[in-house]
Structure 1
Amino acid sequence: MSTHPALPSAGYGIRFARPHEAGSVAALLARAFADDPVMAWMIPGAADRERRIARYFRLAQRQQRPRAGGVRVAATGEGRLLAAALWSGPGRWEPSGVRELAALPHYARIFGLGGMQRAAGVQNAMHEAHPDAPHWYLPSVGTDPRLQGAGVGSALVRQQLADCDRLGQSAYLESSKVANIPFYEGLGFRVTGEIRIPEGGPTVWPMWRDPGPAAGPATG
């Protein structure tokens, strides 16, 4: 008997997320990040951690949508979401100070007073390590846990990476799990160092991808 996850029989496509799907995208990413070390560090021991993570990703989408690239999903024709990715175009990865200030009350409700300090430590450490060279930034990508290993997440990421190759643009992400590094390496990323979250937090691995040769038109 096969142990590989079963994809929907009708297949799926990759597209931009629609505004009314924000809640579904957040719920999907919350399931995908339920055991994420950084999320566990920022929201320690919370019985409602998955609900809080979903609220975080609802907020992250609002921060993301004004930027080029935005929120992309792999979805069936019937609208079932299988994977989601947040992308920012070159020069657009960092939200404005005004937007961040406006979001502070929402972050406080998500992380609580103690978690806010940890979340700020994570953000500061990642911002300090963020490369200056122009690039597309992938802060979050997640696949429905029932379909992890079926190739949906890699197909979703490859869609943007093909555009990066065509335009000669680099890409950057941080892996919060050492086990995920081979997955990203398979997409052309390479580890460039380590980001150590302060106060005993987890380690995060920054990864960079130079553009590869653009694929030519299909023949035959």
Structure 2
Amino acid sequence: MAHDQVVQPSNHVVRQALRSDVGTVARVLAEAFDADPMMRFVVPSTRYRKRLTALFAFETLLSPQGSWVAVADGEIAGAALWGLPGARPPGFWPTLRYSRYLLRAFGTGLPAALRSFRVIEDAHPASPPHWYLQTLGVARPGRGVGGALLRDGLARADAQGLPAYLESSAPENVAIYERYGFRPAREIVLPGGPTLTAMWREPVRGGQ
């Protein structure tokens, strides 16, 4: 599926992200996650926003087929990064190619950050195949952008008859995801840090 567009209600257009969108996607996600408990825990506070932007640039570059953006009034207003079922991990060379972004994000704090990410990864269900919502964020909440992105991704999962999975690092978002069919599956406790809620959603026949 190459850069297809899905027009949502409320005049949002959701499409796959282009390589030229990476900088904008990273900035939008950094704005959205500025106060996120997990990001505040793993990303050093010095030059925090720049570090967070570098981290999201890294994540977007490593998932070109799973990155979608919502365009509102001609501007990218939000983004969703999905891990696609059956997709292979990025591998050594792509990770090495973009490792400078990780170093910009964490500096000497990289080993500690990787330990936290490993805890989250170890809790990730290995089966059955599923869509994994790694990141979803909008620059300005309240315009329906997040809902448009979420509906778009879940419609794709439903069309394949596949479940979806996410970790919510913000407790107030759990109820929002429940409205889209997700259910809490377990808690993931980061040593010395916040607790995340792992959530699972079974596919809906015939769409939502």
Same-fold status (TM-score > 0.5): yes
Q: Which residue of 2 aligns with 1:179?
A: 172
Q: Which residue of 1 aligns with 2:183?
A: 190
Alignment of 1:1-16 (within 5 A): 11-16=11-16
Aligned residues: CA RMSD: 1.9
Q: Going by fraction, where is strand more abundant, 1 or 2? A: 2
Alignment of 1:129-148 (within 5 A): 129-133=123-127, 134-144=129-139, 146=140, 148=141
Q: CA deviation at 1:155?
A: 1.3
Which of structures 1 and 2 has the bigger CA Rg? 1
User: Structure 1 residues 183, 94: CA separation in 2 closer, same or farther (over 3 Å shift)?
Assistant: farther
Stretches of structure 2 that go unaligned for 5 or more consecutive residues are 1-9
User: Take 2:167 and 2:197, find their aligned partners in 1: how far apart are those partners?
Assistant: 5
User: Take 1:168 and 1:205, find their aligned partners in 2: how far apart are those partners?
Assistant: 24
Q: Is 2:151 the counterpart of 1:152?
A: no
Q: CA deviation at 1:132?
A: 1.1
User: Take 1:142 and 1:118, find their aligned partners in 2: how far apart are those partners?
Assistant: 24
2:103 to 100, 108, 123: 108
Q: Which residue of 2 aligns with 1:6?
A: none
Q: Which residue of 2 aligns with 1:88?
A: 83
2:94 to 96, 99, 124: 99
Alignment of 1:163-178 (within 5 A): 163-178=156-171
Could you report, residue by residue, the CA deviation over 1:54-108 in whole angstroms, capped at 9, with x for unpaired residues? 111111111111xx4x210110363x01110011211327432443345444322
User: Structure 1 residues 160, 33: CA separation in 2 closer, same or farther (over 3 Å shift)?
Assistant: same
**Percent of aligned pairs sharing the same letter:** 38
State the AA in 1 paired with 2:111.
Answer: Q
Aligned residues: 198
Q: Is 2:21 the counterpart of 1:26?
A: no
TM (norm. structure 2) is 0.88
User: Structure 1 residues 18, 103: CA separation in 2 closer, same or farther (over 3 Å shift)?
Assistant: closer
State the AA in 2 paired with 1:183.
Answer: I
Instruction: Give the match's secondary structure for 1:213.
Output: coil
Instruction: Give the match's secondary structure for 2:136.
Output: strand
Stretches of structure 1 that go unaligned for 5 or more consecutive residues are 1-9
